[in-house]
Structure 1
């Protein structure tokens, strides 16, 4: 069933109003009309089965038939810090990471990031990234849309340390190490509802200065398997492991 995210101000006790681009999608793409049923997601993570009761050019009104009991979110809250990669790779990271359960993405202007965004380009990109996260959340039947922050610099990432229970660095040298820090060991020590931050470098990885800064601020290193992953693959690998460990093994 088609699912739409409705802003908090558009809800009353028994009704909700759908606006913006979703109106066009419902009318012109899905060809829905009065009487059709859809699922509307509340920003607080709740979902309701709704019936369309009125259709206009700019707004669709729905009646809440019942609230749904859904358990689709990961048992831990995962934030992905992604070093800015080339091309549209970050769009792919956000789309797949959303499908796999991340709650937040933080683009990071790493030393080895080839992409350099000025304020105007960064603002445009942020709008695009947020749209991708919304659409991926609807497609994967998430109950929340991940947050996408503006691009941050190294010190801003380091300052996040105290906001998380676990802060990890995906470091390619761990894959080559004879005594690596295993992902399983980290997951085994993470309790449900913990806030976890995973930092991933751009093409070429983190610089020596960045690695040293992470060490000084007590970020922990982790190996994501035995092979060296592309920057756009790392987040999906990590989130898949988290999903399997917490949702299937426990």
Structure 2
């Protein structure tokens, strides 16, 4: 199978391009040569066969070939709004969530958050997580790259949501929670989950006032980085093949 790379350039209608720095570096590390095949995707849907035409010290040129109109996305678009877990757990959460089919990730600052970041440091974290998302999509075969949104405090994020619309809203909870809703007729879901220690009672009440239904993943208490992944795995197993 040819190596697969994301390029942040529109590929539709392109005949030949110079790869962006990141993709070019990977091609050079793999020691590809003119004539070698690779697969490219730009996040706008589908993927393209391509062929290396020239290798320079810093630049790699490729010829764009046939487009394959493939989709490996979940039928249900899931946004994970997560109280950021500390250390490298957020990196792993982003990576695995992208492999499992998440549509978007919203990092949140909550009352019990251990990881607290703002300003330039938060921007760097988000840029890093976006890179993790790209790499996960390259590896897993996805043709669309989920967006990692800027870090927000939970109250500000809830206030920004507006009317519910067609998206079902759930908050993962152990308090007066019900089983997950039936998924087969849904097209969009927003899932809210807390950091280490969970959401406070006041935070959960605020979410409920914004239309979030308390949902349970079972009797066991899952870690902050496990619960959203368990939800995504459930969604994938329940809805794959329904699109």
Aligned length: 240
1:224 corresponding residue in structure 2: 217
Residue aligned with 2:18, SS = strand
Q: 1:64 to 1:10 in 2, by over 3 A?
A: closer
**Residue 23 of structure 1 corresponds to which residue in structure 2?**
24
List alignment gaps of at least 5 residues for structure 1. 175-179
SS at match of 1:38: strand
Equivalent residues in 2 for 1:25-174, closer than 5 Å: 25-27=26-28, 29-158=29-158, 159-162=160-163, 165-174=167-176
Structure 1 residue 12: Cα displacement: 4.3
Q: How big is the alpha-carbon RMSD for the aligned residues of Structure 1 and Structure 2?
A: 1.9
Q: Distance in 2 between matches of 1:162 and 1:104?
A: 19
User: Equivalents in 1 of 2:164, 2:105: separation in Å?
Assistant: 15
Over 3 Å counting, the alpha-carbon distance change for 1:64 and 1:163 in structure 2 is: farther
Deviations 1:44-71, CA, capped at 9 Å, x for gaps: 1220111111222333222222111323
Instruction: Answer with 161-170 or 234-243: which moved more.
Output: 161-170
**For the structure 1 residues 182 and 188, does the alpha-carbon distance in structure 2 shift closer, same or farther, using more than 3 Å as the test?**
farther
Q: Provide TM-score, normalisation by structure 1.
A: 0.89
Contact 2:71 2:142 in 1 (8 A): no
Report the Cα distance in structure 2 between the residues aligned to 1:122 and 1:45, rounded to whole angstroms. Answer: 29
- Which TM-score applies when normalising by structure 2? 0.91
2:183 to 187, 205, 208: 187
Q: For the Cα contact (< 8 Å) 1:49–1:67, is it kept in 2?
A: yes
CA contact (8 A) 1:19 1:58 kept: no
* 1:51-103 deviation digits (Å, cap 9, x = unpaired): 11122233322222211132311112111111021211111110000100012
More helix per residue: 1 or 2? 1
Over 6 Å off, 4+ runs: none
